[in-house]
Amino acid sequence: MLSPVEAISRVAVEVGFITCINHTWSPVKSGSVPKPAEVSVPYPAGASAPHGQARLVRPRADRREITAIFAGGAIGTLARAALAEAFPHSATEWPWPTFGVNIVAAFLVGYFVTRLQERLPLSSYRRPLLGTGLCGGLSTFSTMQVEILKMLSAHAWGLAAGYIGASIVAGYAAIHLATALVRRVRVRR
Amino acid sequence: MSVLIWVAVALIGGGGSVARFLVDGAISSAAGRDFPFGTMAVNISGAVILGLLTGLALGNDEALLAGTAAVGSYTTFSTWMLETQRLTEEHQYRKAVLNVVVSLVLGVAAAAAGRLIGAQL
């Protein structure tokens, strides 16, 4: 049976932005990253292989990439805003909406990015759609900071410390867990 | 609350995400990719703007559109955590800790500064 995450990502793939992959996209931001031209990725039978040579120079702002980020960001933001409106809380209450979306988005981004980097053929739109767009739009840093500021202003020191600690620990653990789950599955060849 | 507001939330959220991508890209290519400066710059600048909006004491719809939708989508928790986790995978523990601590300290400070400025306006 399809896991919910897998289902979402498959639907996202079916819905749009499919077809040609004619430039490679270097997904890792830190550490040693092979240049796009050096990347060699196995394409499973049936998957669309890039036609023509990979461009040496990566286009700075590919329109499909921007569209994917916009679409993912719109959906993620809608979900986050709806939760924030549905569950209002005072400055001295645990901010469940922000905490919830942040941890869920962390798990999802860990899942998507690891799977796209290490398990699926190179794609030019999936990471922008699911990682940068959906998870980036779903999660928020600024709201968390203002919530912490309001807790500090209300002298709710313990709450502020607990919120910071729980967000960091749970966010980190969620990505670690999602990454480990993806890596447990053998590479498809 | 009207449907129009929610359409605007989606559109503004998409725009905020694209803005994050562009700013992150510009900062990362200028400062190098050894440390996630791009995400940090996005998050700190977003914190100062949201602090400012908080200081302005906006109405509900304005706060939803400008704060939750625009600045909320512009900043990111997930990428911040992902980059931190990837740094620890590469055994760059000092950078990982710095990424968390500096973002938090500057983030709260930026929000406080923004709120102060907003309250003066």
Residues for chain B: how many in total? 121
Amino acid at B42: V
Burial grade of A18 (CB within 10 A; 0-12, 13-18, 19 or more): exposed
Q: What is the pLDDT of residues A41-90, one digit of tens each?
A: 444 444 444 444 444 445 556 889 999 999 999 999 999 999 999 999 99
Chain B nearest C-alpha distance from A46 (Å): 31
* ipTM value greater than 0.85: yes
User: Do residues A17 and A129 lie in contact, with contact meaning Cβ atoms separated by under 8 Å?
Assistant: yes
B81: closest CA among A179, A14, A55, A37?
A: A179
State whether B73 and A141 contact (CB < 8 Å).
no
Q: What is the pLDDT of residue A154?
A: 97
Please identify among residues 70-89 of chain A the ones whose CB lies closer than 8 Å to any CB of chain B: 70-78, 80-82, 84-85
Dihedral angle over CA of A35, A40, A45, A46, nearest 10: 20
From first to last of its 121 residues, what are the pLDDT tens digits of chain B?
Answer: 589 999 999 999 999 999 999 999 999 999 988 999 999 999 999 999 999 999 998 999 999 999 999 999 999 999 999 999 999 999 999 999 999 999 999 999 999 999 999 999 8
Asked if B15 reaches chain A (Cβ–Cβ under 8 Å), the answer is yes
Which residues in chain B touch residue A73, judged by CB atoms under 8 angstroms apart? 13-18, 73
Amino acid at A113: V
DSSP summary character for residue B33: S
Chain A nearest C-alpha distance from B87 (Å): 8
User: Do residues B39 and B106 lie in contact, with contact meaning Cβ atoms separated by under 8 Å?
Assistant: no
